[in-house]
């Protein structure tokens, strides 16, 4: 399918959460052909992820929190499009702090949409999540699966954000792209199973605590594939609201991930200790089986470069250099 590359060329683009894991990779790929402004409060993003761009005249950084929308209208002045990645990404946290995802995901998204409405910015791409599907009975799970019954407050908050974006798109004639991600892994990752395993094995190379049963089986995608897919969707789809699953075409269980991490760390005699968790889950809200159907994005012409196992291997190599 012939896409419109001009949609992401010579544009002024705002990236919220651009200092984060996925956001910093997106900024890196947008900058060569666009002017990019990052809004980030550095609650989870890192300044060093953006350091290579500080002398680039097309790069601008605004340190601000989306919960305090005063800076947003300034950031949106002259913008052609927004990539909205700012969020609290810690799924487990919702069971301990029930407000965090409401504030940092839902209210932050509302504030952004309101500022876009006031400034006349009409295009938004949003990073959602596979957790909006809850425990889907259809696996691989397609975009039209329903009802959507998330089991974590994080998943609920992202589904609420999708609903806000959909309603703003219709009410105020905006255009939106919504990406439902599998687990994204790779260089600059700051949380998740790989970071957890590497840190634990560095502390104790003989034993690894694995949350849950180890049989949880999910899909993983390398971060560079992810940001390529995000841009590809914008360039190759043009409905008012465009919803795409982004992931790999298979899944891998947690014990196999532990094997890959231990192997790449040169550890051959690691004992695994499973916590059992909640009914085999790693934590409350942990979806035990997740694999997305990606036929819709494949019909546009995009496909992942490899399997979940390959994504894990590439990510672990990068993270072993990142995590000191």
Torsion sign (Cα): 151, 154, 156, 159: negative
Element (H, E) at 70: helix 70-76
Dihedral, 131, 134, 135, 137 alpha carbons, nearest 10: -110
CATH of the domain at 36: 3.40.50.720
pLDDT band at 324, cuts 50/70/90?
A: low
Residues 24 and 148 in one domain: yes
Q: Kindly report, residue by residue over 110-139, the tens digit of the pLDDT.
A: 999 999 999 999 999 999 999 999 999 999
240 and 209, same structural domain?
A: no
Question: Same domain, yes or no, for 201 and 110?
Answer: no
User: Same domain for 170 and 285?
Assistant: no
In a domain, 297, yes or no: no
Domain count, the chain: 2
Q: Coil, helix or strand for 85?
A: coil
Question: Residue 256: what pLDDT?
Answer: 98
In which domain, by residue range, is 286 found? 187-218+250-292+306-322
Q: Do 104 and 153 meet the contact criterion of CB atoms below 8 Å apart?
A: no
Fill in the DSSP letter of residue 99.
T
d(CA 107, CA 293): 30
Assess whether 197 and 89 both reside in one domain: no
In a domain, 298, yes or no: no
Task: Verify that 62 and 149 share a domain, yes or no.
Answer: yes
Three-class SS state of 40: strand
Residues 314, 198 share a domain: yes
User: In angstroms, what CA-CA distances link 298 with 38, 141, 280, 303?
Assistant: 30, 14, 33, 6
Q: Is residue 177 part of a domain?
A: yes
List the structure tokens of 50.
């953006």
Q: Is residue 301 included in any domain, yes or no?
A: no
DSSP string, 173-203: T-EEEEEEE-EEE-TT--SSHHHHHHHHHHH
β-strand 289-290 against 12-16: which pairing, if any?
unpaired
Residue 161: strand, helix, or coil: helix
Does 50 lie in the same domain as 157? yes
Please tell me which residue, 303 or 93, carries the higher pLDDT value.
303
Q: What is the CATH number of the domain that holds 278?
A: 3.90.25.10
pLDDT one-digit tens code per residue, 206-260? 999 999 999 999 999 999 999 999 999 999 999 999 999 999 999 999 999 999 9
- The verdict on pTM exceeding 0.85 is yes
Q: Tell me the pLDDT tens digit for each residue of 256-288.
A: 999 999 999 999 999 999 998 778 888 888 999
Structure tokens at 79: 């913008």
DSSP secondary structure code for residue 105 in this structure: I
Same domain, 204 and 143: no
299 part of a folded domain = no
Clarify whether residues 44 and 120 are in a common domain. yes
Query: For 240, left (φ over 0), alpha (ψ -120 to 50), or beta?
Result: alpha
């Amino acid at each position: 399918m012939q896409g419109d590359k001009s949609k992401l060329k010579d544009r002024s683009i705002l990236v919220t959460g651009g200092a984060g894991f996925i956001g910093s990779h997106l900024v890196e790929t947008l900058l060569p052909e666009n002017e990019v402004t990052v809004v980030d409060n550095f609650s989870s993003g890192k300044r060093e992820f953006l350091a290579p761009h500080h002398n680039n005249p097309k790069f601008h950084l605004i340190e601000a929190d989306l919960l305090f929308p005063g800076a947003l209208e300034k950031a949106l002045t002259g913008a052609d499009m927004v990539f909205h990645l700012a969020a609290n990404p810690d799924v487990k946290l919702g069971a301990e702090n029930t407000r965090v995802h409401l504030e940092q995901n839902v209210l932050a998204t509302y504030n952004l949409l309101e500022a876009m409405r006031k400034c006349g910015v009409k295009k938004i791409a949003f990073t959602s999540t596979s957790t909006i599907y809850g425990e889907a009975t259809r696996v691989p799970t397609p975009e039209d699966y329903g009802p959507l019954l998330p089991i974590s407050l994080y998943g609920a908050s992202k589904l609420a954000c999708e609903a806000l974006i959909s309603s703003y798109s219709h009410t105020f004639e905006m255009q939106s792209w919504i990406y439902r991600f599998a687990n994204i892994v790779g260089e600059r990752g700051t949380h998740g199973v790989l970071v957890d395993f590497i840190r634990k094995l560095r502390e104790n190379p003989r034993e690894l605590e694995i949350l849950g049963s180890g049989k949880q089986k999910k899909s993983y995608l390398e971060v560079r594939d992810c940001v390529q897919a995000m841009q590809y969707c914008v360039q190759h789809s043009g409905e008012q609201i465009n919803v795409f699953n982004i992931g790999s075409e298979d899944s891998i269980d947690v014990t196999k991930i532990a094997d890959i991490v231990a192997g790449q760390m040169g550890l051959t005699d690691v004992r695994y200790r499973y916590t059992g968790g909640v009914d085999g889950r790693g934590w409350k809200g942990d979806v035990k089986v997740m694999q997305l159907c990606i036929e819709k994005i494949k019909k546009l012409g995009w496909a992942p470069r490899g399997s979940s196992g390959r994504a894990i291997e590439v990510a672990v190599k990068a993270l072993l250099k990142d995590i000191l």
